[in-house]
């Protein structure tokens, strides 16, 4: 509800969101309203709604990214307790320093990058979400569980393949503390798991730029004009792009620098094991894309207009789309008239 006169005060006070005109509005209307529109430009309301939706979306992406990696680590480390050496001690698939490196350096900067994401192209074509629903929606909860299980399973299988494949189940003795010839297989498996988990977390940041759309077609307005818009879409967010690239390259010095690898990270340089780490990226991306496709195909966690767009492939919400373009152009201001506006009708 918007208004500027004294007679609008009761409606402004009882509305879910009452907005008073700042330039021409009366003091009574300003006092009864929740928000005062300082420039009396209705396009500013649309711009504020767009920014609020962008912030809400980015908070969800931030949370999803961090909690997905945490679930993956829990799956890997809890099941990893079953791996025991000849002395009966559990052999960790990841050392404490590796976990600290992943949580503080690998996960943090991509998550910050997701917080800087631009508004999605279809953000103003979505219906309003329930005000009682917080950022922990069922979609976020289910997504982080599914993605975390996929990520944790991939890393766990890599450790198992290396140790119980060519390594023939050799878990050494006390490999959590120091390197020895008997711990060669374990240290190589840890290096592969470390590299793999790092890269999966980084790639997931690109996947989480949208909770529903494919990573290879993130922008609904430009994806139809380009055969493969992936590189343009991921480069739009420069901070996130370089956080992923630098984080991916940081794996190599951590794995190969002598002393740092065996004494600090409790792993060592690897060879053919890189293939498992790289292959897991393809498996993870395929799993995420398949889950997103199922959500779009069956309308899971979609509401109202969003479900219709995904089902019919049509662009809805022409009025919102026009308002969004209008708010961005700001080519001319709107003068507020007498009285208020309710649902687009002047009263």
Q: Please name the residues in contact with 89: beta carbons below 8 A apart, sequence gap of 6 or more.
A: 174, 176
Which parts of the chain fold into alpha helices (H)?
9-14, 27-32, 42-80, 96-101, 108-115, 138-164, 184-207, 230-235, 238-249, 251-256, 273-298, 304-312, 318-329
Task: Give the C-alpha separation, 4 to 36, whole Å.
Answer: 10
**334 pLDDT above the threshold of 60:** no
Q: Which helix (H) or strand (E) holds 236?
A: none
**245 pLDDT above the threshold of 50:** yes
State the pTM of this model.
Answer: 0.84
Tens digit of pLDDT for each residue in 291-311? 999 999 999 988 655 665 555
**19 pLDDT above the threshold of 60:** yes
Please list the residues that pair with 21 across neighbouring strands.
Answer: 37
The alpha carbon dihedral of 228, 230, 233, 235 has a sign of negative
**345 pLDDT above the threshold of 70:** no
Contact between 218 and 209 under an 8 Å Cβ cutoff? The reply is yes
Q: What does the pLDDT read at residue 305? A: 53
**342 pLDDT above the threshold of 50:** no
Task: Give the C-alpha separation, 6 to 27, whole Å.
Answer: 8
**85 pLDDT above the threshold of 80:** yes
**280 pLDDT above the threshold of 70:** yes
* Span 69-75, average pLDDT: 96
Q: What does the pLDDT read at residue 134? A: 86
Q: Alpha-carbon Rg of the chain, whole angstroms? A: 26
Q: Average pLDDT over the chain, rounded to whole?
A: 86
* Span 31-45, average pLDDT: 92
Q: What does the pLDDT read at residue 87? A: 85
* Span 78-96, average pLDDT: 92
Task: Give the C-alpha separation, 268 to 179, whole Å.
Answer: 9
Which 3 state secondary structure label does DSSP give 3?
strand
The alpha carbon dihedral of 128, 132, 136, 140 has a sign of negative
Q: What does the pLDDT read at residue 105? A: 87
Q: What does the pLDDT read at residue 228? A: 75
* Span 153-166, average pLDDT: 96
* Span 31-59, average pLDDT: 93
Q: What does the pLDDT read at residue 121? A: 81
Task: Give the C-alpha separation, 71 to 61, whole Å.
Answer: 15
Q: What does the pLDDT read at residue 15? A: 92
Percent above pLDDT 70 for the chain = 85
Tens digit of pLDDT for each residue in 99-142? 999 999 889 999 999 999 999 888 888 888 877 788 999 999 99
Which 3 state secondary structure label does DSSP give 22?
coil
- Residue 42's nearest CA partner among 283, 347, 344 is 344
Q: Please name the residues in contact with 300: beta carbons below 8 A apart, sequence gap of 6 or more.
A: 139, 294
Task: Give the C-alpha separation, 195 to 107, whole Å.
Answer: 13
What does residue 255 show for φ and ψ, rounded to 5 degrees?
A: -85, -35
Q: What does the pLDDT read at residue 310? A: 58
Task: Give the C-alpha separation, 12 to 223, whole Å.
Answer: 41
Q: What does the pLDDT read at residue 81? A: 93
């Amino acid at each position: 509800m918007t208004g500027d006169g004294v007679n609008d005060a009761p409606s402004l006070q009882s509305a879910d969101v009452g907005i008073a005109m700042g330039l021409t509005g009366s003091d009574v209307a300003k006092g009864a309203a929740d928000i005062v529109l300082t420039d009396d430009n209705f396009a500013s309301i649309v711009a504020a709604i767009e920014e609020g939706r962008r912030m809400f979306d980015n908070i969800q992406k931030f949370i999803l990214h961090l909690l997905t990696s945490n679930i993956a680590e829990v799956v890997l480390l809890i099941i990893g307790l079953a791996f025991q050496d000849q002395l009966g001690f559990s052999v960790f698939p990841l050392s404490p320093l590796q976990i600290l490196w992943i949580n503080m350096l690998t996960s943090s900067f991509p998550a910050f990058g997701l917080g800087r994401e631009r508004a999605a192209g279809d953000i103003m074509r979505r219906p309003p979400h329930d005000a009682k629903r917080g950022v922990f929606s069922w979609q976020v909860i289910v997504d982080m569980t599914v993605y975390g299980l996929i990520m944790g399973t991939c890393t766990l299988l890599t450790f198992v393949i290396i140790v119980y494949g060519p390594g023939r189940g050799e878990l050494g003795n006390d490999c959590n503390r120091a390197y020895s010839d008997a711990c060669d297989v374990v240290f190589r498996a840890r290096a592969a798991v470390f590299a793999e988990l790092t890269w999966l977390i980084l790639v997931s940041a690109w996947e989480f730029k949208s909770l529903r759309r494919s990573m290879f077609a993130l922008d609904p307005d430009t994806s139809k004009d380009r055969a493969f818009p992936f590189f343009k879409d991921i480069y739009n967010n420069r901070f996130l792009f370089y956080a992923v690239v630098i984080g991916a390259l940081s794996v190599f010095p951590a794995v190969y620098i002598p002393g740092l690898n065996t004494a600090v990270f409790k792993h060592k340089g690897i060879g053919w094991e890189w293939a498992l780490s790289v292959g897991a990226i393809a498996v993870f991306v395929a799993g995420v894309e398949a889950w997103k496709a199922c959500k779009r195909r069956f309308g899971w966690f979609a509401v109202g207009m969003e479900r219709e767009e995904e089902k019919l492939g049509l662009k809805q919400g022409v009025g919102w789309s026009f308002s969004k373009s209008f708010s961005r152009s700001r080519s001319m201001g709107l003068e507020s008239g007498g009285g208020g506006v309710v649902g687009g009708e002047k009263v």
